[in-house]
């Protein structure tokens, strides 16, 4: 394949451009890290309510845990196995070194924000975290009693000596390294001990209201353990006590082609995940250098892999605070997702969907219709079968309850569960067991291809004729996520679409050649080809002097073939707007290559998750999809892109996309050097916050 194009403006660029050049691609790991920095930036946003800013601070910690478990660990594996083929031209060791510098600076900034702004402002709002030095006598007495009755019975200190080598500590668990003086009952004086903080105990404990001034007062579990460390070593003295935490490689090493039972093999791998190779050491900034050196040697880590934290470790566990507080004045105003008017007037979803397609935009519009459709199907004697894909849903959700009810009632229920949904594997295994016990047929998709498509197909007998109804979505069947993520849902009885979905389920549960589908595009078979075909058609339109426009909204854009096609279209004069939340390997704004491409990332109250692909000149102009534009999604996953052809719904989607493109307060614009700049309204522009506009337009 020839990846050389001739630019339109030869005065600004050479006559031919090699689109394989590393100069035109951004490293995916650096790009993802840049997204995490944009998340952290939300915690600095003075316009957000205080608890929402605090939550973004904690989300950043959660994101970074996964970043080290998967991305940093993956880079270390690449170095170990000398796998260095990367489109952007950067060697893994160079990427790792650059990321280390960025991560150290980001964590320092995060903890400065926590200590200098967040905690003082929360205290001003009567939400306090009392350090040991702040405990009045009555709190000290309570803390001693609480430690002895609630913590000491479940804690297990481990002295280090030849009979007690360094313990195997669980991934991301909180631990203490303790220096000791004196001898124990056996005459031992090793001088060091490890104390794991019990994972079964809450990380935040509320102090009884009668012991403190008004407001909400909390103490950290780590403070309670630290304050009473001597109690764990009778007759000895703890001369130093320091928190530390190890992050391990948590990517599962499961070769699906080499196992006979994926579910059984996965259960074994889930245990191994807890004890993968170490990739990061977090430690209290007060920990002496000799103890840090001891831990680094124990975990075979280098100095650049230690992170000295000025405050409590594992900030993610502070999410418990949001459940312990009742302070709506410090949070976003609540809203009620709405229903389309037709749904309010007619509760019979089969009748309604049979009459017209329905497009829902979550979380602004309710996810309840999907649950209600399942419930109605479960209780309708005319429903003969329900087929559904599940990726992330929650093992006790209303979606699962409806499927269980249908299976127990004798309806043919077939569920394709993707048990390899990262970090939801254990829950999905439990879900599979529950459905099987209820009588549902459960399969795990296709070996070697992760099932990421979101589809529900219902077959109903109506006046002696079989009729199909389906739901297709860009997000997961998780009611909780549907209130936090932006996604689209299409409810339809279109015969061609439903027949296509039927064929995809046949591919997933049975065997045979891929059948021709009429309206859907699916990975790994046709989705990439169709995207490139539509991109090239837009380029041809531009060359013919017609208006040409492409808008992609996705979570990530890393696929080289699609990026090359977009570069070619830009070079032909197509205006291209990319709304890419996270990783983007395309480098915009390069003369003769990508000067007609603008890339923006929206980060705000809701996690932007919907995937929409718009082409001005395509026969069907808009597709919504479960797939991001990544190599894995287009080649190694089962994905669905579904057309939205109803003129009224098409107009809605175009309007939504334009709203996102008009955002000038939460929109970060990607620069040619790979950095992002936050949009600001011009002097003659009113502020536009896309998520708020959609909230006011669609929700109550």
Residues forming the active site: 452
β-pairing verdict for 358-362 and 306-309? unpaired
372: three-class secondary structure by DSSP: helix
* Integer Cα distance of 470 and 389 in angstroms: 12
* Integer Cα distance of 91 and 89 in angstroms: 7
Residues facing residue 441 across a β-bridge: 414
**How many degrees, rounded to 5, is the angle at CA 397 between CA 394 and CA 400?**
95
* Integer Cα distance of 528 and 100 in angstroms: 34
Neighbours of 206 (CB within 10 A): 15
Q: Which two tokens stand for residue 219?
A: 């103490």
- Who contacts 370 (Cβ-Cβ below 8 Å, separation ≥6)? 399, 456, 471, 473, 477, 489, 491
- Who contacts 141 (Cβ-Cβ below 8 Å, separation ≥6)? none
* Integer Cα distance of 48 and 300 in angstroms: 42
Measure Cα distances from 78 to 96, 189, 559 in Å.
11, 43, 19
Measure Cα distances from 500 to 472, 518, 680 in Å.
11, 7, 44
**Contact call for residues 557 and 613 (beta carbons, < 8 A):** no
Closest CA to 131 of 122, 140, 118: 140
609: three-class secondary structure by DSSP: coil
Q: Which two tokens stand for residue 169?
A: 């500590």
Strand order in the sheet with 174-181: 158-159, 192-196, 174-181, 237-248, 278-284, 306-309
Where do we find the tokens 């569920």? 415
* Integer Cα distance of 423 and 283 in angstroms: 25
Burial class (CB in 10 A: 0-12, 13-18, 19+), 542: buried
Q: C-alpha 358: how far from its chain's center?
A: 27
* Integer Cα distance of 450 and 391 in angstroms: 9
DSSP state at residue 308: E
Q: Which two tokens stand for residue 41?
A: 């930036």
β-pairing verdict for 450-451 and 637-643? parallel
* Integer Cα distance of 363 and 476 in angstroms: 12
- The pair phi, psi for residue 191, each rounded to 5°, is 90, -10
Where do we find the tokens 């709506």? 328
Helix (H) or strand (E) holding 428: helix 425-438
**Contact call for residues 246 and 171 (beta carbons, < 8 A):** yes
Where do we find the tokens 């389309």? 340
């Amino acid at each position: 394949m020839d990846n050389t194009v001739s630019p339109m403006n030869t005065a600004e660029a050479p006559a031919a451009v090699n689109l394989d050049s590393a100069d035109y691609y951004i490293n995916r790991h650096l790009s993802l890290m840049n997204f995490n920095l944009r998340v952290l930036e939300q915690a600095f946003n003075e316009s957000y309510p205080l608890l929402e800013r605090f939550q973004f601070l904690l989300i950043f910690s959660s994101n970074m845990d996964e970043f080290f478990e998967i991305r940093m660990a993956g880079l270390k594996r690449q170095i170990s196995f000398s796998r260095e083929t990367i489109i952007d031209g950067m060697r893994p060791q160079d990427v790792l070194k650059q990321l280390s510098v960025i991560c150290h600076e980001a964590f320092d900034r995060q903890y400065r924000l926590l200590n200098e702004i967040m905690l003082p402002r929360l205290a001003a709002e009567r939400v306090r975290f009392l350090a040991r030095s702040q405990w009045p006598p009555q709190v000290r007495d309570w803390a001693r009693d609480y430690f002895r009755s609630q913590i000491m019975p479940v804690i297990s200190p481990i002295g280090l000596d030849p009979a007690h080598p360094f313990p195997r500590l669980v991934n991301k668990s909180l631990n203490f390294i303790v220096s000791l003086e004196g001898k124990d009952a056996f005459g031992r004086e090793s001088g060091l001990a490890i104390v794991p903080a019990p994972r079964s105990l809450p990380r935040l404990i509320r102090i009884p209201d009668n012991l403190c001034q008004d407001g909400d007062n909390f103490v950290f579990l780590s403070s309670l353990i630290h304050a009473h460390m001597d109690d764990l070593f009778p007759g000895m003295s703890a001369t130093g006590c320091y928190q530390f935490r190890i992050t391990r490689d948590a990517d599962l090493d499961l070769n699906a082609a080499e196992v006979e039972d994926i579910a059984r093999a996965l259960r074994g791998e889930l245990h191994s995940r807890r004890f993968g190779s170490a990739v990061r050491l977090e430690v209290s900034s007060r920990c002496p250098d000799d103890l840090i050196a001891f831990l680094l040697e124990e975990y075979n880590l280098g100095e650049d892999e230690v992170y000295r934290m000025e405050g409590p470790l594992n900030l993610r566990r502070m999410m418990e605070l949001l459940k312990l507080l009742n302070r709506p004045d410090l949070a976003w105003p609540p809203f009620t997702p709405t229903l389309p008017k037709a749904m309010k007037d007619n509760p019979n979803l089969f009748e309604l969907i049979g009459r017209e397609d329905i497009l829902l935009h979550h979380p602004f519009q309710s996810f309840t219709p999907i649950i209600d459709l399942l419930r109605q199907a479960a209780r309708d004697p005319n429903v003969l079968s329900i087929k559904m894909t599940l990726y992330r849903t929650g093992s006790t959700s209303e979606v699962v309850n409806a499927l269980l009810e249908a299976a127990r009632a004798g309806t043919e229920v077939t569920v394709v569960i993707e048990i390899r949904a990262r970090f939801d594997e254990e829950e999905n295994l439990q879900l599979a067991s529950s459905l099987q016990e209820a009588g549902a047929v459960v399969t795990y998709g296709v070996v070697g291809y992760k099932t990421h498509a979101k589809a529900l197909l219902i077959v109903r007998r109506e006046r002696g004729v079989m009729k199909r109804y389906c739901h297709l979505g860009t997000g997961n069947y998780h009611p909780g996520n549907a209130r936090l993520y932006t996604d689209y849902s299409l409810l339809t009885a279109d015969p061609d679409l439903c027949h296509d979905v039927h064929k995809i389920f046949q591919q997933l549960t049975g065997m045979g050649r891929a059948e021709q589908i009429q309206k859907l595009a699916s990975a790994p078979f046709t989705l990439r080809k169709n995207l490139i075909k539509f991109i090239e058609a837009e380029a041809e339109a531009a060359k013919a002097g017609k208006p040409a426009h492409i808008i992609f909204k996705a979570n990530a854009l890393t696929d080289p073939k699609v990026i090359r096609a977009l570069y070619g279209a830009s070079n032909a004069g197509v205006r291209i707007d990319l709304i890419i939340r996270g990783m983007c390997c395309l480098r915009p704004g390069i003369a003769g290559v990508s000067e007609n491409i603008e890339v923006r990332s929206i980060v705000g109250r809701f996690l932007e998750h919907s995937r929409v692909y718009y082409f001005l000149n395509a026969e069907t102009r808009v597709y919504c999809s479960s797939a991001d534009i990544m190599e894995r999604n287009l080649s190694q996953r089962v994905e669905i892109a579904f057309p939205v052809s109803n003129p009224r719904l098409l107009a809605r989607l175009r309007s939504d996309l334009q709203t996102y493109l008009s955002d000038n307060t939460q929109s970060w614009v990607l620069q040619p050097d790979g950095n992002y700049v936050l949009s600001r309204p011009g002097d003659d522009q009113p502020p536009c916050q896309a998520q708020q506009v959609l909230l006011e337009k669609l929700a109550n």
